[in-house]
Amino acid sequence: MLTLAEAATLEAIVDRLIPPDELGPGGREAGCALFIDRQLAGPFGRSESLYLLPPFLDGTPEQGLQSPLTPAVRMRAGLAALEAHCRAAFVGRAFAALPPAGQDRLLSEIEDGTRSLAGVNARAWFDLVLQMTMEGFFADPIHGGNRQMAGWRLIGFPGARYDYRDWVERHGAAYTLPPVGIGGRPGWHDAG
Amino acid sequence: MPADALPAADVVIIGFGWSGALIAEALSAAGLGVVVLERGPYRDTASDFPPGFAPDELRYAVRHDLVVPTAQNTITFRNRVGQTALPVRQWGSFLPASGAGGGGVHWNGQTWRFRPSDFVLRSHLANAHGHDVIPSDATIQDWGVSYAELEPFYDRFEYLAGISGRAGNLRGHRQEGGNPFEGPRQRDYPTPPMRMTLAPTRFAEAARALGYHPFPQPSANLSEPYTNSLGVVIGPCSYCGFCERFGCGNYSKASPQTVLMPALRRRPNVALRTGAEVLEIARTPDGRHARGVRYVDADGIERYQRAELVILAAYTFENVRLLLLSGIGQPYDPRDGSGVVGRNYAYQTTASVQLFFDETRFNPFIGAGALGMVVDDLNAEGRDHARLGFIGGAHLAAMQSGGRPIQSRPTRPGTPRWGGAWKHAVARDYLRNVRLGASGSSLSHRGAWLDLDPTYQDRHGRRLLRMTFDFHANDLRMIQHATDRLAEIGRAMGPAEMVVNQRHGPYSVVPYQSTHNVGGAVMGPDPTTSVVNPWLQSWDVANLFVVGASSFPQNPSYNPTGTVAALALHAANAILTRYLPAPGPLVPR
Ligand SMILES: Cc1cc2nc3c(=O)[nH]c(=O)nc-3n(C[C@H](O)[C@H](O)[C@H](O)COP(=O)(O)OP(=O)(O)OC[C@H]3O[C@@H](n4cnc5c(N)ncnc54)[C@H](O)[C@@H]3O)c2cc1C
Ligand code: SF4
């Protein structure tokens, strides 16, 4: 759904939210941006199941989300606003072209509300990106992210094994079987 | 009669969750012709949540695949009078069900009986501590039914569902290892308790050392295979960790699908129509008798189903809304306390404690919705909560329901939400954390009720239900006390770090708390303070029974479904043994 330029910005963001390091792949390699793209193109991105009848009023935090804008619209507007900000503030450079420390600083400022972006609720947009990046890192790989089960391997989650009867009373034991997803394991397909 | 009216049925049931399915089973077994109308889709294990794709956290737990879309039906919410209620556009605090099986498909399966004193709460408190301990704006009341009257129906539900647990009180005799504070039961649970993982085991050890009486949570995730009285076989739980919010692929979680549907499917006198959303209960011109229901079918065509008896079993919100939209019963008016429909909405007051360990692996991915150890001492009758400045109570638990990583990967305090430091923290903490929970009671009070929203409508142009609710100060004091006790147990488990998540007001519809929404069409012996009599029969329309947690006058700390089921079976029994022989009010008005 996203354009190549939007995808490039998003790839850069997810790789700062989950950076590659000695523990394993980052958000880019794990496919978080592809995951987000697919989600935005589907029922979630279109708010298909949500009540979207007016009037839309600003409520209290306790009353929850009241925006008529779908996640797809909010994502795109935020990415565009971020790029516009970068090009103005960093002599025409795109977010993806900033050094990692600069990217982190900008994202932190948006997260804590000290940096606004023209025309969008920057903080709410950041929360959407962060939420979807984590979904992409930890959801079953059939949804396009969590490639090679990078998210699950990082923390030791065995995935969709669905049967731990033999492990219930092995208190404190290290679980030794590799993670498996709904679509199987990487090894199965490579071998096949 | 409209041209598209259908052949009349003996009984029409609105909603096919536990409430509707249990009544359908009982009435069809007696030979009555039953039509069930369910707004959501048909669902069954093999077609909708087989093991092949049941464990999809994103689809079921995050995107709420089994929950009613707010586009179809939602409520509006405000904390108090003076605010404008706004629609819940995205579910959070609770997750109302839709589809065959209702919430019975995707519940945890923590299966409780309420205590004898819960059913006589107001008189019990007044006798034990004097009227003054009850806050002046509390509208708590007695249920009009006793624990002893319900006991056979609790028993029947537990034996239909195969509940796994250990008795604490057999006919008045205390049993080692069960809940010593439960009411007397005629026999033990049909299956033994679940086997325990490390976290509940450590919790129980620490609690016992502090003088509490921990016991295994009675569970609808079955510890071993079980064949119920209908001849239906339920499988053993595999501790898969994809339980609450998910359907069970192993046929091991008690649900209408696993417990009742195989038997119902063979009965020619039961028809389940899915995609059928009821709009209104139609009555005779004098308003005293229900003639049937109007509904929209799966093709969007409006239909009329006539019936001799109408059972409203559409969960708390739609039970109350359909009464209000149909003009049955006097709506509650919070200004002077008159009226009954919508009165006494209550919830659950919850809090938690998070523990982090340096070395010990707790393997949180092993889990089941009702796997855990519980402490019920704080609810116990001997405790003088009035002296502590509140009434009500809570139970404390270490439940291990599955560490699904999109939603459950806590990190220690001070950890950023993203970046390299977060990554290191989550890699360290995921396997080595334990969550403890406190689930507390909820008072009904003058400031909490349900009515029709003045502004917002559903897609058919019918007014949405409006909730006005905030935690009563009594309940916040109660849960603070319980959470402090929970933290003492947590500390005794020896964590490296601990975070205490006290519950503060105002109530918010955003974070998940529980789908234990109760009241609004409450039961009782007095028609000026209840919508239905002790057999759940409408005071206004004798051939209408309103079934579900909407009948609870207030909420004890326990999960509701065991009591919802017992009340449904109690009502079905009254229909068969009292109502049908002499149709009319079971209690004179
Ligand atoms: C995640 C989760 C975990 C839970 N865990 C527990 C637990 O551990 N222990 C416990 O005791 N309880 C638990 N509960 C609560 C439990 O699910 C409910 O108490 C129980 O399912 C209520 O049964 P019911 O039949 O009264 O209502 P429901 O199951 O909600 O069924 C009502 C049915 O009516 C249908 N309906 C509504 N309106 C209409 C209409 N207008 N026309 C036609 N049909 C309609 C709905 O689609 C639904 O299928 C949990 C709930 C959730 C969501
Ligand atoms: S934990 Fe047990 S009961 Fe729950 S879904 Fe998994 S196998 Fe079924």
**Residues A68, A56 contacting (CB under 8 angstroms):** yes
Q: How far apart are CA B379 and CA B373, in angstroms?
A: 15
Split at pLDDT 50, 70, 90, the class of B387 is confident
| pLDDT-based confidence at residue A141 (cuts at 50, 70, 90) | very high
pLDDT at B487: 98
pLDDT tens sequence across B411-444: 999 999 999 999 999 999 999 999 999 999 999 9
Q: Any idea which ligand is nearest the CA of B164?
A: 2
A189 confidence band (pLDDT: 50, 70, 90): low
Q: How far is CA B549 from CA A183, B311, B313, B534, B565, in A?
A: 40, 14, 9, 13, 9
pLDDT band for B205, please (50, 70, 90 cuts).
very high
Region A111-137: what's the mean pLDDT? 97
Judged against a pLDDT cut of 90, whether residue A149 lies above it is answered with: yes
B516 is catalytic: yes
Distance from the Cα of B361 to chain A's closest Cα (Å) equals 5
Pocket lining: B251 vs ligand 2, CB cutoff 6 Å: no
Residue A185 has a pLDDT of: 84
DSSP, collapsed to helix, strand or coil, labels residue A191 as helix
Mutual angle of helices A71-89 and A32-41, in 10-degree steps: 130
| Residue B246 forms part of a structural domain | yes
* pLDDT value for B380: 79
Report which ligand 2 atom has the smallest distance to the Cα of B54: 5
Mind listing the pLDDT tens digit for each residue in A24-66? 999 999 999 999 999 999 999 999 999 999 999 999 999 999 9
Mutation to test the A interface, candidates B363, B407, B428, most A Cβ within 10 Å? B363
B209 touches chain A (CB under 8 A): no
B170 in a domain, yes or no?
Answer: yes
Could you read off the pLDDT of B10-34 as tens digits, one per residue?
Answer: 999 999 999 999 999 999 999 999 9
Q: Is B256 in the pocket of ligand 1 (CB under 6 A)?
A: no
B255 Cβ below 6 A of ligand 2: no
Candidates B184, B141, B155, B158; CA nearest to B534 is B141
Q: At what angle do helices A100-112 and A122-138 cross, to 10 degrees?
A: 120
Element (H, E) at B466: strand B463-468
Cβ separation B361–A66 shorter than 8 A: no
Size of the A and B interface in Cβ pairs below 8 Å: 168
> What pLDDT is stored for residue B558 in this prediction?
98
Quickly count helices (H) and strands (E) in chain A.
7, 0
B48-83 residue pLDDT tens: 999 999 999 999 999 999 999 999 999 999 999 999
Q: What is the mean pLDDT of residues B232-257?
A: 98
A135–B55 C-beta distance less than 8 A: no
Angle between helices A122-138 and A4-17 (to 10 degrees): 80
d(C-alpha A124, C-alpha A120), whole Å: 9
Q: In sequence order, what are the residues at sequence separation of 6 or more whose Cβ sits closer than 8 angstroms to the Cβ of residue A155?
A: B405, B409, B426, B427, B430, B431
On average, the pLDDT of chain B sits at: 97
B586 lies in some domain: no
Q: Which residues of A touch B54 (CB under 8 A)?
A: 162
Q: In this structure, which residue's CA is closest to atom 52 in ligand 1?
A: B107
For the stretch B495-499, contacts whose Cβ atoms lie closer than 8 Å and that sit 24 or more positions apart, written own/partner, are: B495/B355, B495/B356, B495/B357, B495/B434, B496/B356, B496/B357, B496/B358, B497/B355, B497/B356, B497/B412, B497/B413, B498/B353, B498/B354, B498/B355, B498/B356, B499/B353, B499/B354, B499/B356, B499/B410, B499/B412, B499/B413
Could you tell me the residue ranges of all domains in chain A?
4-156
In this predicted structure, what is the pLDDT of residue B384? 66
Shortest Cα distance, chain A CAs vs residue B369, angstroms? 13
Question: Looking at the predicted structure, is the pLDDT value of residue A192 above 50?
Answer: no
Please write the tens of the pLDDT for every residue from B324-381. Answer: 999 999 999 999 999 999 999 999 999 999 999 999 999 999 999 999 999 999 997 6
* Dist. CA B218 → ligand 2 center (Å): 14
Contact: A63, B417; criterion CB under 8 Å: no
Q: Chain A residue closest to B79 (CA)?
A: A62
What are residue B221's DSSP bridge partners?
B253
> Per the residue annotation, which of B445, B472, B481, B516 is the catalytic one?
B516
Question: Is the pTM of the predicted complex or chain greater than 0.90?
Answer: yes
3-state class (DSSP) for residue B497: strand
Ligand minimally distant from the alpha carbon of residue B50: 2
Partnered with residue B120 across adjacent β-strands are none
Please, what is the average pLDDT of chain A?
96
- Report how far residue A132's alpha carbon sits from residue A152's, in angstroms, rounded to the nearest whole number: 16
Q: Are B483 and B438 in contact (CB under 8 A)?
A: yes
In a domain, B589, yes or no: no
pLDDT at B131 over 70: yes
Place of tokens 């299956």: B191
Q: Which residues are within 8 A (CB) of A149 and not within 5 positions of it... i.e. 6 or more apart?
A: A141, A159, A179, A181, A185, A186
Residue B1 has pLDDT above 50, yes or no: no
Integer Cα distance of A184 and B428 in angstroms? 26
With respect to residue B588, please indicate whether it lies within any of the assigned structural domains.
Answer: no
Report yes or no: B368 and B510 within 8 Å, Cβ to Cβ: no
Cβ of A154 within 8 Å of Cβ of B366? The answer is: no
- Number of domain units in chain B: 1
- What is the C-alpha to C-alpha distance for residues A145 and A32, in angstroms, rounded to an integer? 5
Q: What is the Cα–Cα distance from A144 to A130, expressed in whole angstroms?
A: 17
CATH number, position B69? 3.50.50.60
Q: Tell me whether residue B360 is in a domain.
A: yes
Q: Do A55 and B455 touch (CB under 8 A)?
A: yes
Q: Which atom of ligand 1 is nearest to the CA of B244?
A: 1
pLDDT on residue B262: 97
Contact yes or no for A60 and B239 at CB 8 A: no
Residue B175's domain comprises 4-579
- A-contacting residues in B 220-249 (Cβ below 8 Å): 236, 238-242, 249
**pLDDT tens digits along B532-564:** 999 999 999 999 999 999 999 999 999 999 999
3-class SS of residue B318: helix
Residue B587 lies in a domain: no
Please report the pLDDT score of residue B6 as a whole number: 87
